[in-house]
Structures are given as structure tokens and as C-alpha cells.
Structure 1
Amino acid sequence: MENTQQSVEVEAKEVVLDENTVQLDTPVKRGNTVIEHVTLRKPNSGELRGLHLAELLNWDVGSLIKLLPRICQLNAQEVAQLDPADLVALGGKVTGFLLQKQTKTDASLVA
């Protein structure tokens, strides 16, 4: 039993997340599957249709709930049930997608 537990811990430490992936504090359960990481992709303009950019930049919950299912593996119901801390982490990634590289550099958001 103890060896199994150690191997699981070792495997968990080997997970390398890319810059667009958020490790969830509260994993999402989908049937028998547990989603512990959410990877976002940068939205294109069409995926922003019907949303207000200012609201996304201000992390408006309703706007994030509409956008996130369009750019990640979670559906709208799963996004609506996210832990608030996880929603904030995902919102931070969305904000980064909406800013130009130079703006992030000027604001010291990028090294």
C-alpha cells in the first residue's frame, strides 16, 4: 500500500504545466473523470463575439462563464460550478490573452 502511495506522489510531481494551464484547487468531476488541470487557448475574435472586452478585463463572472467553455475543455455548467479561486486563476490567463505583448512588457507582466 505504501509503495503505491509513493509512486502516485512521484507521478504528480512530474506533471509539468505550460503557461496556459491552470492547476485547479478544487478538481472538476465529470462522471468517472477528475479534471485537475485546465489548459486555455488564446481566443480568436469570433470567440469573443457577444462579450464586452472591458468586462473580460475586469474579470466579470458572467463574461468568463460565457468565454471559458469556448477556449477550454470545460463546459458551461462545469465553469459555473468552479471554485472562485480557480475562476480567478483562469480569469488571469484570459486577461493575459487580451493584452498585447508590448503592453504586458510595459506593465512588467512579462520578463
Structure 2
Amino acid sequence: MTDKTTEKTVELDTPILRGKTEIKSIVVRKPQSGALRGTRLQALMDMDVNAMITVLPRVTTPALTTQEITEMDPADLVSLSVEVVTFLLKKSVLSDLATA
């Protein structure tokens, strides 16, 4: 994992098969505002599947396709979505969560 504030690696419960390559982990980057276009912030905070399908290809390495996301294990989608939502929170909110 690199800088904790800008990237997070998520280990997948169910690897994604892309051709002959098995993807076992995904790096989620903190989205810039442009990566959020076409979605509503509230939908992202609610971890709305359609909003995540829009944003995840823009902030993941390797870049996930829409088809890969729609066929993904729901537990893995939740894990990736939690990281996206966490990146949207202010640092003060995160520090409050850490002490709660």
C-alpha cells in the first residue's frame, strides 16, 4: 500500500479473471472531483451500485470494466465501495471515527 490518504489496496474474496490473468487485489485511488461526474454524492455515500459502477472504473488499478463490476462478488463490491466512501469523508470525520 502507498500513501494511506490517497490509495488503498483491497484483497478480493473472489478473484476476477481477465483473459488468462487472475486479479486478486485492486488498488482504489482517492477520486478527484472529475472522477465523480455523472453521479450524485449522496448516491455514492449510500454506496448505490449504479453510482459505484460509474466511479470505480475511474479510480481503480487495474481499471475495472463495467462488466467486471456487475459480475463481481457482492462482498468485494462492498469492500471497494467502502474505500470510495471513506475517501469522500473529511479528515476530521475520519479522526473522530478512529477515536469512537
Shorter-chain TM range is 0.7 to 0.9
Please give the per-residue CA displacement for 1:36-80, whole angstroms capped at 9, x wherever unaligned: 000011110011011111111111011011110011121111111
Please, which runs of 5 or more residues in structure 1 have no aligned partner? 1-16
Q: 1:47 matched to which residue of 2?
A: 35
| Largest Rg, 1 or 2 | 1
Q: Map 1:62-73 to 2 at 5 A.
A: 62-72=50-60, 73=62
Measure the CA separation in 2 of the matches of 1:93 and 1:102: 17
Measure the CA separation in 1 of the matches of 2:79 and 2:99: 15
Question: Does 1 or 2 have the higher relative contact order (CA < 8 Å, sep 6+)?
Answer: 2
2:69 matches 1:79: yes
Q: 2:88 matched to which residue of 1?
A: 98
Q: Which structure shows the higher strand fraction?
A: 2
The total of aligned residue pairs comes to 94
Whether contact under 8 Å (2:11, 2:25) holds in the other structure is yes
Whether contact under 8 Å (2:30, 2:59) holds in the other structure is yes
Measure the CA separation in 1 of the matches of 2:49 and 2:99: 23
2:98 matches 1:108: yes
- Runs ≥4 in structure 1, deviation > 3 angstroms? none
| AA at the equivalent of 1:94 | V
Please, which runs of 5 or more residues in structure 2 have no aligned partner? none
TM value normalised by structure 1:
0.79
TM value normalised by structure 2:
0.87
